[in-house]
Structure 1
Amino acid sequence: MFEHCVVAGGTGAVGRMFADRLAASGAEVLCVDPAATGPGAVADDICAPGPATARALAGADLVLLAVPEAVALDAVRPVTRLMRTGALFADTLSVKEGVARRLRAEAPGVQAVGLNPMFAPSLPLPGRPVAAAVVTDGPAVRDLLALIADWGGQVVETTPDEHDRQTAAQQAATHAAVLAFGLALGELGADVAALRATAPPPHRTLLELLARVASGTPEVYWDVQAANPHAEAARQAVGRGLERLGRAVAGHRPEAFEALFDELRSTLGERNLTELADACADSFARPR
């Protein structure tokens, strides 16, 4: 299926996850990274491939870029010029439409798909969703998505634009809400240890989310907020939601507060409301 693969950024967490999976599936994998060392790796710039990297790109069945967006955009032309007919170009960017536009302009005949594992690479892949934003479909795209499914990933196909709009809600709005919650605790002078001692399940869950985000790499969360063209609208929507809540309470209008709940139930829909509420109840019932 994929005998020869090049993974640019293969020393990073996401690139390493895919490189290891591909190697375990029988592929010969070359990791290209300026900081790469050791066997199966070459220290090189994917935007200006040296002789060894160029040979590997020319013979690859799959070239996967697990690099920042600016690097991926600059790499599209030199990489696709070297790829053979029928080979697959893939990326793991958190924002898809930019690289999709570049691929359509620079390499319209190259099969391409953007992958976004919707979980931290430190977590196991089986059972977790992997968004697949198809740019140019073809047999190699189908083979890669089938391989990810064989690994146990839950492949969810989308378009680059749909992907970016969805992740603005899933990631940008979510992270903004969690970060704002943490900043509010700081402004309130909260004693987190004291909060934990009596925290009801919703508060405890938010504290856990805040701790997970705060212990992560800021650059990852910066990319979510800064690179997605729909992230600003998502943050503004979160802010407007707080303002609407504040107006309902400040105006001493319980009917307006109740109307907000009616709106929330409508947004969720009956089936999602029931299933998600049950899932939350199950989660809260587990002892910590």
Structure 2
Amino acid sequence: MDVLIVGAGAMGRWFGRTVDADLAFADADPEKAVATADALGGRAVPLDGDERFDVVCLAVPMRLAADAVADNAHRADAAMCDVTGAMKPPVAAMRDHLPDRERLSLHPLFAPHNAPGNVAAVADEPGPYTDALLADLDAAGNRVFETTPEEHDAAMETVQAAAHAAVLSFGLAADGVREEFATPISAALDELVASVSGGTPRVYADIQSSFGEGTDRVADAARALAAADDEAFADLYRRVSRGDTGVGAGADASAADRDQTDKHDPVE
């Protein structure tokens, strides 16, 4: 099986290391394609070339995914897959441009240096090539699980956009204090801020652009907490404790909830 990986960045390199295939790399930066190909025993090819491959894998920024499908569909003899991080746009584009070929969308839910891990997968049109790719992911120790484009992108509003927004908001809101004042919660948040802010801004901006409703919900929740009186704050607190979600849903606590004694003190 020969595979063209469009995008020679960290995710493209991860995919190339993980699959058992003859590799070619194309990138907007030709020198990056050459360096990645040399490191992984593949070869570099032009980004705008016409050479065909059994499989084309797109490892490009989310905002470019749909266009990359259109630009590279003619190069895929049998299958196309993507590891872009969103699923609805690339899957829709692949259905349009590759209706008679195998189609697979993948989202590794980890940074490449933390591999292996969970990989969300939509086998939109499975076949022997996509089956082989999934088997390679499994053999490398990843936990591949099935989803749909709609379920995946909705989940990303919470686990990526909302989570990142909450962490970055704490980083922006926090004043510098002496280390001795740190509590277990603030120290854990400081570690999360360091982790998130140590990445690539463009990647996080792409996530916010693609799944921004999650960020809006974080802002709504912060406003609700800021405006709450003691009783309303306690209601919001207990809803989180119960696992209720959404600022607007289930806002009225039951009388039993309002009257109960708090079960524990703050974990600080």
- TMscore range, shorter length: 0.7 to 0.9
Q: Is the 2:2–2:55 contact (alpha carbons within 8 Å) kept by the matching residues of 1?
A: yes
Using the alignment, how far apart are the partners of 1:199 and 1:32 within structure 2?
Answer: 47
Q: Is the 2:58–2:69 contact (alpha carbons within 8 Å) kept by the matching residues of 1?
A: no
CA shift digits 1:28-65 (9 cap, x unpaired):
111112322254232522xx32xxxx33xx2x332211
CA shift digits 1:219-241 (9 cap, x unpaired):
0100100123xx2x212211121
Q: Which secondary structure state, in structure 1, belongs to the residue aligned with residue 120 of structure 2? A: strand
Q: Which residue of 2 aligns with 1:72?
A: 65
Q: Compute the TM-score of the two structures, normalised by the length of structure 1.
A: 0.76
Q: Which residue of 2 aligns with 1:191?
A: 176
Q: Which secondary structure state, in structure 2, belongs to the residue aligned with residue 61 of structure 1? A: strand
Relative to its length, the structure with more helix (as a share) is 1
The number of equivalent residue pairs is 238
Q: Which residue of 1 aligns with 2:192?
A: 209
Using the alignment, how far apart are the partners of 2:81 and 2:70 within structure 1?
Answer: 14
Q: Which residue of 2 aligns with 1:8?
A: 6
Using the alignment, how far apart are the partners of 1:220 and 1:75 within structure 2?
Answer: 17
Q: Which residue of 2 aligns with 1:222?
A: 205
| Shift, 1:71, TM fit | 3.9
Using the alignment, how far apart are the partners of 2:128 and 2:43 within structure 1?
Answer: 28
Q: 1:262 to 1:221 in 2, by over 3 A?
A: same
Q: Which residue of 1 aligns with 2:263?
A: none
Q: Which secondary structure state, in structure 1, belongs to the residue aligned with residue 99 of structure 2? A: coil
| Shift, 1:156, TM fit | 1.8
Q: Is the 2:59–2:84 contact (alpha carbons within 8 Å) kept by the matching residues of 1?
A: yes
Using the alignment, how far apart are the partners of 1:77 and 1:180 within structure 2?
Answer: 37
| Shift, 1:107, TM fit | 1.5
After superposition, residues 109-188 of structure 1 pair within 5 angstroms as 109-125=100-116, 128-185=117-174
Give aligned-pair identity as a percent: 33
Q: Which residue of 2 aligns with 1:252?
A: 230
Q: Is the 1:115–1:130 contact (alpha carbons within 8 Å) kept by the matching residues of 2?
A: yes
Q: CA RMSD in A?
A: 2.2
Using the alignment, how far apart are the partners of 1:133 and 1:65 within structure 2?
Answer: 14
Q: Which residue of 2 aligns with 1:61?
A: 54
Q: Is the 1:133–1:163 contact (alpha carbons within 8 Å) kept by the matching residues of 2?
A: no
Using the alignment, how far apart are the partners of 1:77 and 1:191 within structure 2?
Answer: 48
Aligned-partner residue type, residue 215 of structure 2: R
Q: Compute the TM-score of the two structures, normalised by the length of structure 2.
A: 0.81
Q: Which residue of 2 aligns with 1:242?
A: 222
Q: Which residue of 2 aligns with 1:94?
A: 85
* Deviating 4+ runs (over 4 angstroms): none
Q: 1:94 to 1:267 in 2, by over 3 A?
A: same
Q: 1:112 to 1:92 in 2, by over 3 A?
A: same
Using the alignment, how far apart are the partners of 1:240 and 1:75 within structure 2?
Answer: 35
**Unmatched segments (≥5 aa) in structure 2:** 246-266
CA shift digits 1:154-182 (9 cap, x unpaired):
11211112111101110000000011111
Using the alignment, how far apart are the partners of 2:148 and 2:139 within structure 1?
Answer: 22
